[in-house]
Structure 1
């Protein structure tokens, strides 16, 4: 895309701006922490406008999340909230910048009800096949048991911090295969609850995704 994904623009705003705006509008984010590349002043300036704390990310997704967790208490409290102890945390992806408020609310409700780990997800409409290294089909999982996972993913703060400490004890192959914090929780036998996601929370990864997002935004669909 020519620039860091978070700085790609749609309708005059970067994905990071849309994502931060969505988090603030949801009304559930008491503090905001964003991991940014070393030396990226544009992202830091955007974070400052939203009252978000920008911290340097790591070489891996897990390292970046750990950096954010360490800095969480240092982030300024958002307007309208008091400085209460933090018990839950949402891990969000700027590439899912049009996630609507109801998804944030669904995750928060599940955490408030006592869940340790919560993910928003959609049912799968395509038929999914498993294949071997040569490309031969090895199976067809039942769609009723499959979900496409989105963000924000929610966690009990103490649980997520402990999980990120324990990931260092996993063998390198297992650790490398972990693609999100929910999978980390699964690996450590922490129950993960799936709640309703939303089609607008799609991930903007490819040029086609970006083109679709721009068209939908121009048509006031998002």
Structure 2
């Protein structure tokens, strides 16, 4: 009996976010965390989790900086850097997928492809592996999700002042039942044939942040594809504000003591 090696695993890492809310004048993915840029943490964890080849979509005006950072013996044969799109995250992912198609002939219809945000640098290799395993088991779309801990409320904004209400202020309308909600993380996983076709079908909506979707699972939902939720993890937090960096540094410190 002959054995067949599993299909190689590929990833697109979106790294075009600005560092404005972090108080940085550099792209968020280049912000330092424990002596290493966020994007480098993310790439190392993806590789340790089973990713064989990755494309990083960099801000076009910082392309050379990303290229120089990742043109090392560690990453040269693993990572390709391409310009992301200024139009939307969705357009940047599409550009990364197109680069994958041009980079390798190892892609097959069932090759697992992960879409990951560089702003989630501390995702564990174990979570990466679980996403890959779920795709290999036949799932067409896989996302990590965390139970929502906070109380959630919907609100309305008052356009004009009235008795007891301030113009332009927000007032609670209802408390949202959080029992059926999860906070979604990355990496999100798909077979190559599925994710490529989803982005092709939705290309028009990627031309503006107003119409683009904020994650790739949303494209699967639009197409009627079931999206499997697996357990996420606290360490895969998204770095958005300075307090997130504080939490991330604490995670690194705990790792160093383990």
Normalization by structure 2: what TM-score? 0.76
Task: Return the match for 1:164 from 181, 186, 199.
Answer: 199
How far off is 1:212 after superposition? 2.1
Distance 1:141 1:218, change over 3 A: same
Q: 1:138 to 1:189 in 2, by over 3 A?
A: farther
**Bigger strand share:** 2
Does 2:204 align with 1:180?
no
Residue matched to 2:120: 96
Q: Distance in 1 between matches of 2:126 and 2:209?
A: 33
Distance 1:96 1:171, change over 3 A: closer
1:126–1:169 distance in 2 versus 1, CA, 3 Å: same
* Partner in structure 2 of residue 20 of structure 1: 43
The runs of 5 or more residues in structure 1 that have no matched partner are 78-82
In the alignment, which residue of structure 2 is the partner of 1:80? none
Pairs within 5 Å for 1:77-96: 83=106, 85=108, 87-96=111-120
CA RMSD of aligned residues (A): 2.4
After TM superposition, the score normalised by the length of structure 1 is 0.87
Contact 1:53 1:76 in 2 (8 A): no
Alignment of 1:23-42 (within 5 A): 23-26=46-49, 28-40=50-62, 41-42=64-65
1:189 and 2:218 matched: no
Aligned equivalent of 2:174: 139
**Is structure 2 residue 80 aligned with structure 1 residue 58?**
no
Cα distance in 1 for residues equivalent to 2:187 and 2:58:
18
- For the pair shown, the structure with the greater C-alpha radius of gyration is 2
Higher share of residues assigned helix: 1
The match for 2:8 is: none
Q: Which runs of 5+ in 2 are unaligned?
A: 1-22, 159-169
Residue in 2 aligned with 1:122?
146
